[in-house]
Amino acid sequence: MLYRKLGNTGYDISTIGFGTWQIGGGRWDIPSEKEIITLLQDANNVGINIFDVAVVYGQYKDSQGYLQSRSQEFLGKAFVHSRQQVIYCLKLGQFDEYSHRHNYNPKRIVEQFLQSLRRLQTDYVDIALIHAPSIQFVKDGKAITILQTLQALGHIKNIGYSFEAEPEHVSEAIKQPIDVIMLQYNLLDTQCEKVIEQARLHGIGVLVGGPLKRGYLTGKFRKLDDLPKKDDYWQLNINLNKEKVETLLKQVDFLLEQYSTPENLRRESLNFVLKQPGVASCIIGHRCIDEVLENIQLIKKDTTTIFHC
């Protein structure tokens, strides 16, 4: 595994990160808890040191009706005895995985944070991000102030925001005293290219989510029948906007013609992201160790230069 500086945070992070949305189940078909914990530990053993998780990943209601996160629980169990070997990137603010409803009220943010610490079996997190706020909430700045307070108390090392492919949001965010930005950037979503450079010049670390466009850019799917409908995520997206899914599949089909094979498409997708100065890591939702190993091998060494701010 190769590593890059994460802005001015002082962290050297793996250029391939581990996103834990899919392993939480709920909308995704997953193996047993034992297999998932082994997967997380194996990923760390081969060099992945940054693990991304949100309150709504693997969301379920416990016996008292309180919303919990399986993804957080799995991480806590996997690394309870090796906490110093991993970097947790925690996203806060959303409370419903399906509708993406949010609540950035200070009391709710603190409650989510404390519950996350309990599930992760830790007394601090390395990175905490406000999860997918509107530009109005970014400009307001109240949510990030809560994270600043928790940071001052020593419970969080670095703070910031997590966005989709929203350059305007990033431009507003980097005006604030933050350390890390997560955003969506890939072969199909290039809107944030310029603001990645702006973040780099501000010394802000950049994490890229969705480098494989939630599976589209793996090259495994060329038509609707190829999609793994046992995952509720895919079936729901087809039901909500079939035309959008078909348009994305056509775009992928064009790229496959250009790059010849699914493996070449995956290689180009990852290296496209990592060639962008300022990007520290691709956060990918791995579901087996073979995917982890392949993605590590796909990265060209000439794209893994450490960019200093």
- Give the chain's radius of gyration (CA, Å): 18
Q: Which residues contact 114 (CB under 8 A, 6 or more apart)?
A: none
Residue 1 confidence (pLDDT): 92
The answer to whether residues 106 and 69 touch, using CB atoms and an 8 Å cutoff, is no
**Average pLDDT rounded to a whole number, residues 188-208:** 97
C-alpha–C-alpha distance, residues 135 and 71, integer Å? 28
Residue 253 lies inside a defined structural domain of this protein: no
Which of 188, 243, 249 shows the shortest CA–CA distance to 221?
249
Whether 122 is in a domain gets the answer yes
pTM: 0.95
20 and 209 Cβ atoms separated by less than 8 Å: no
Instruction: Let me know: does 102 contact 95? Beta carbons within 8 Å.
Output: yes
- Taking Cα atoms as reference points, which of 251, 245, 254 lies closest to residue 226? 245
Report if residue 188 sits inside a domain.
yes
Is the model's pLDDT at 304 over the cut of 60? no
Q: How far apart are CA 212 and CA 216, in angstroms?
A: 6
CATH of the domain at 280: 3.20.20.100
pLDDT one-digit tens code per residue, 256-270: 999 999 999 999 999
Q: Residue 299: inside a domain, yes or no? A: yes
pLDDT, tens digit (0-9, with 9 covering 90-100), for 93-127: 988 776 678 888 999 999 999 999 999 999 999 99
The 3-state secondary structure of 70-119, one letter per residue? HHHHHHHHHHCCCHHHCEEEEEECECCCCCCCECCCHHHHHHHHHHHHHH
- Give a yes or no: residue 249 inside a domain: no
- Show the domain range for 101: 3-214+271-303
> Is residue 250 situated within a structural domain?
no
User: What are the tens digits of pLDDT across the range 59-89?
Assistant: 998 888 888 999 999 999 999 999 999 999 9
Task: Give the integer Cα–Cα distance in Å for 60 and 57.
Answer: 9
Q: How many independent structural domains does the chain possess? A: 1
3-state secondary structure at position 189: coil
Whether 228 is covered by a domain: the verdict is no
* pLDDT tens per residue across span 206-249: 999 999 998 999 999 999 999 987 788 888 889 999 999 999 99
Q: Give the pLDDT band of residue 308 (cuts 50, 70, 90).
A: very low
What amino acid occupies position 96?
D
**Is residue 242 situated within a structural domain?**
no
For position 300, what pLDDT does the model report?
73
Which residues make beta-bridge pairs with 180? 160, 205
